[in-house]
Chains A and B, each alone.
Chain A
């Protein structure tokens, strides 16, 4: 199925190291993968496994120390051009916006990256559309600053920015880790909406394998800078014996696990009928 689609990111034996000599740290270690157009890929792993560094490599903020990393078959050289297509949502919604400027002005600033900058009216219209897509009435944030909104609202603003900008690829770096459970579910819905309505390719970085299971087409499990397990959610999670995947599964609270099993049985029954 995937072979018909074009490859968006292609990584061949990439490594990323920081420091030098005895103080060298390997954040990403000899990793290879292909990400196809329109997929939702989840990169799952514990703290310090290298998933965020990998996200920054995809975003072009870091270059790999070794190996080949290509976007649409080419090495990333022109960052501004790259960010025309590839955008990101960051982990900490509180530190994502400059507190000295209004949210709206910063959402509008995002359009500076586009090669052909739309007219002022068009930008305003698209920002409004972006806000409505995440269920925020544009007038509600008029003249508001980042410190006047809650963490969940801020994370929605970051997603509104993506809905307005409509990049081809979204790197979502742990967008759910700093918000409460009910906002978390909303964020997953918005990610699905971005995929379905705008056919966006999404790389979802998370430490929560349960969330990854809900939204992903494929999951990469990372540990110590390496991808230790990968495949569709079923391939990765059902009857797995891979130790790091099992450890991540152990971290899911029992209540969620029961719910999860119920849901997956339901979907299997549906398929059978």
Chain B
């Protein structure tokens, strides 16, 4: 484990990725300690599009709300959705992939068919349909849940491939003749071998969750109970910031989304390089 961490820390991609991600986490969760953040985004503090000042670093938006405060709480919401979606998609994917891959036979065939079906159907379409069907109670958690329930298929596929290759290994046969139950075999003898994959899958699911939330919010089907980075973009779009060239209304939010997803991508790719010896240089 220590060796693995040492190898990871040797990779500049991993160090850069983790640093950027830690900075975004710090801004989201420690930001309110240093900056006055209005989590409900209701306080009108100045006139519309007020320029930056000592009190309001990035100025205000079209309604006169502090823009920095909106970004901090938006980032917080986006990360929250990303984590909720990531946890749900990873848990579901790992469970389905592990069960199918390890059991094999018809159980695997059926689960694999279901997984492929979910891969083929564009998850964004389902996301739009469900989000537009839920009109009133569209909360941040619900959006995370919907994203998680529509994007698990890739994790299931990745985990299934690994689990089915482990199934025929001798250490599993040895565990079986040692009298271990199927549950013990999965927990003790299969899952540890997959942990690195599960972690990688989790990171990818978080970043896809953040992107999905931004996309769904951008078209106006995002959460109704809080501000997210997608909602900031949606409001900028609806109020003509793009056509009027008011870059401050959309550029910082776009940059934060891009940086966060980029950081997670760097972490994921560098981990793949360390976990998969064939990719090591």
Chain A residues within 8 Å of B, Cβ to Cβ: 59, 61, 80, 83, 87-88, 90-92, 95-101, 106, 109-110, 112-113
Contact = CB atoms under 8 A, between A and B. Distances in A.
B170 A96 contact: yes
A56 to B, nearest CB: 9
B178 interface: yes
15 contacts: A61-B177, A83-B177, A88-B173, A88-B177, A90-B174, A95-B169, A95-B170, A96-B170, A98-B189, A100-B193, A101-B188, A109-B178, A110-B178, A112-B178, A113-B178
Contacts of A95: 169-171
Interface of B: 169-171, 173-180, 188-189, 192-193
A61 B176 CA distance: 9
B154 to A, nearest CB: 26
Nearest to A167: B177
Q: Which 10 A-B pairs have the closest CB atoms?
A: A113-B179, A100-B192, A90-B170, A96-B170, A112-B179, A95-B170, A83-B177, A95-B169, A98-B171, A110-B178
Contacts of A110: 178
Contacts of B171: 95-98
Contacts of B169: 95
A163 B86 CA distance: 48
B193 to A, nearest CB: 8
B170 A109 contact: no
A101 to B, nearest CB: 8
Contacts of A83: 177-179
Contacts of B193: 99-100
Nearest to B177: A83
Contact of B177 (A59, A99, A101, A106): A59
Given A91-B170, A96-B170, A109 B192 contact: no
Given A95-B171, A98-B192, A109 B177 contact: no
B178 to A, nearest CB: 5
B42 to A, nearest CB: 51
Contacts of B180: 109, 112
Nearest to A107: B178
A168 to B, nearest CB: 14
B168 to A, nearest CB: 9
A96 B178 contact: no
Nearest to A92: B170
B186 to A, nearest CB: 12
Nearest to B168: A95
B245 to A, nearest CB: 57
A91 B170 CA distance: 8
Nearest to A60: B177
Given A83-B179, A92-B170, A96-B170, 10 more contacts: A83-B177, A83-B178, A95-B170, A96-B174, A98-B188, A99-B193, A100-B193, A101-B188, A110-B178, A113-B179
